[in-house]
Structures are given as structure tokens and as C-alpha cells.
């Protein structure tokens, strides 16, 4: 069916509807026709009160090695070991009092989700994810190194924080 835009000048209510009911029915009782209402200006929708765009500098992560042997009779042997850790980088505050939803992407439009691998060298890898709590927005980094270092890198992100409808 054709979608129609109705606007009532007396109070500024706007609706995008589908079907054959009169515009007053849609505008006055949108919940009665919710399957035909695509937009209604009296509905509460999510808002984006915070947009952060900034650069995060991730430091170099050095592969670890261990040496064993080399007593009186033999020579020491050095071999790589798996090592890793994590770090959190605060990028902004929202103080909404609850954990909001968010979208984030790198400059250039590359979207991220979950633990996203931003760097790999051999089997060494750096993963990042977005974390939110009731007041702050952070980037969480976790990494593992084995037999190869991870060089320092910088990434520029934009984060859109959503506010629940009121």
C-alpha cells in the first residue's frame, strides 16, 4: 500500500501511515492502528545525546621470551611464551544512570562490533571492544603476543550513545 504523510497544523502532529483510515484516526489514536503507523510525532523515540569522536593511542606490546637450561653442562635455550593483558581507555562520560546502547565506527565508516581485531602480527593479535557502564564510555583492549611484537597504533573512532525514550 501507499504510505502517506499527514500533518495537522493546529498542533504540529505529524504521522506517516499506510492504508485507508482517515488521517484523524491515525493522528488521534495511533496505537489503535499501530500496524499501519510508520511514524508518529507523539511517540517517544531513542535520541543520540552524545557523540564522541577522538583518537585512541594504543601502545606497543612486546612479545615475551623465557630462557631455560644453561647450567654447567649445556647452553641456555630461549623460546617464546604466550603473554597478554588488557587495558581500558575512557573516552567520555554520559551520566545517564543506566547502561545505554551505542554504535561505534572508525573514521572512514568501518563499523565495529564485539571484540574487533585491529592489529595482527603473526599469531600476535590486538582486539578492541566498546564498553559502557552507567556513567562512562570506554574502549577495552585485550591482546596476546607470541613470537611477534605489536607496534603502537592510533585509531580514530566516533561513538554514538543512545538515550532511551522518556
Q: Which cell is 118 given?
A: 585491529
Using alpha carbons, list the distances in angstroms from residue 43 to 11, 36, 152: 15, 14, 47
| Secondary structure class of 11 (helix, strand, coil) | coil
Q: What is the pLDDT of residue 89?
A: 96
Q: How many residues does the chain have?
A: 166
Q: What is the pLDDT of residues 86-144, one digit of tens each?
A: 999 999 999 999 999 999 998 777 888 889 999 999 999 999 999 999 999 999 999 99
Q: What is the pLDDT of residue 71?
A: 66
- CB-hemisphere CA count at 13 Å for 41? 11
> Are 50 and 62 contacting, i.e. CB atoms less than 8 angstroms apart?
no
pLDDT higher than 70, residue 20: no
107 vs 63, residue with greater confidence: 63
Tell me what the pLDDT averaged over the chain comes to: 89
Q: What is the pLDDT of residue 33?
A: 84
**pLDDT confidence of 164, banded at 50, 70, 90?**
confident
What's the CATH number for 47-163?
Answer: 2.60.40
Q: Taking the domains of the chain in order of start, what are their residue ranges?
A: 3-40, 47-163
Largest CA distance in the chain: 97
pLDDT cut 90: percent of the chain above it: 54
The whole-angstrom separation of Cα 111 and Cα 76 is 47
The whole-angstrom separation of Cα 5 and Cα 65 is 67
> Are 140 and 48 contacting, i.e. CB atoms less than 8 angstroms apart?
no
Amino acid at each position: 500500500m501507499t504510505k502517506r504523510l499527514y500533518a495537522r497544523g493546529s498542533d504540529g502532529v505529524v504521522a506517516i501511515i499506510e492504508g485507508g483510515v482517515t488521517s484523524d484516526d491515525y493522528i488521534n489514536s495511533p496505537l489503535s492502528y499501530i500496524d499501519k503507523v510508520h511514524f508518529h510525532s507523539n511517540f517517544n523515540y531513542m535520541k543520540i545525546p552524545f557523540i564522541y569522536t577522538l583518537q585512541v593511542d594504543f601502545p606497543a606490546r612486546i612479545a615475551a621470551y623465557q630462557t631455560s637450561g644453561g647450567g654447567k653442562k649445556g647452553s641456555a635455550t630461549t623460546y617464546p611464551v604466550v603473554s597478554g593483558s588488557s587495558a581500558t581507555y575512557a573516552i567520555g562520560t554520559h551520566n545517564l544512570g543506566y547502561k545505554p546502547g551505542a554504535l561505534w565506527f572508525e573514521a572512514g565508516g568501518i563499523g565495529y562490533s564485539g571484540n574487533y581485531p585491529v592489529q595482527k602480527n603473526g599469531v600476535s593479535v590486538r582486539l578492541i571492544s566498546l564498553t559502557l557502564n552507567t556513567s562512562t564510555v570506554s574502549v577495552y583492549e585485550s591482546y596476546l603476543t607470541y613470537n611477534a611484537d605489536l607496534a603502537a597504533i592510533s585509531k580514530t573512532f566516533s561513538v554514538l550513545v543512545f538515550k532511551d525514550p522518556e
